[in-house]
Amino acid sequence: MIPPEVFLTFILMLSVFLGFELISKVPATLHTPLMSGANAISGITLVGAVGLAGTGNHDLSNWLGAAAVGLATINVVGGYLVTDRMLAMFKKKEN
């Protein structure tokens, strides 16, 4: 059985390489939407935060989790919407 730390580090290593590959050939036109789209993904912390905000313990950790849920939701919702707004404007030349 692989120890969980090693397993997680494996995932990390593969994802980093994948990230490099995915982004390296993006045209300059899309740098802003790409950045803000990636930024929205970094709001994934929300998934970790809900677990901590829902323990029902009413302790410090619970409150911190609740605050994290709020902040991460701003990041996720705002990030995706703003990216979509930008991308909706990108048009190819007609005719």
Q: How far is the CB of 45 from other proteins (least distance, A)?
A: 4
Q: How far is the CB of 94 from other proteins (least distance, A)?
A: 7
x-or-dash string of contact with other proteins, 5-24, rule CB under 8 A: x--x--xx--xxxxxx-xxx
CA dist., res. 21 & res. 37, Å (int): 17
Give CB contacts under 8 A, 24+ apart, made by 20-28. none
**Ranges within 24-43 binding other proteins (CB under 8 A):** 24-43
φ/ψ bin of 3: left (φ > 0), alpha (ψ from -120 to 50), beta (otherwise): beta
Please say which residue, 2 or 62, places its beta carbon nearer to other proteins: 62
- CA-closest candidate to residue 48, choices 62, 33, 32, 65: 65
x-or-dash string of contact with other proteins, 41-80, rule CB under 8 A: xxxxxxxxxxxxxxxx---xxxxxxxxxxxxxxxxxxxxx
- Kindly determine how many residues on this chain lie close enough to bind other proteins according to the rule CB under 8 A: 81
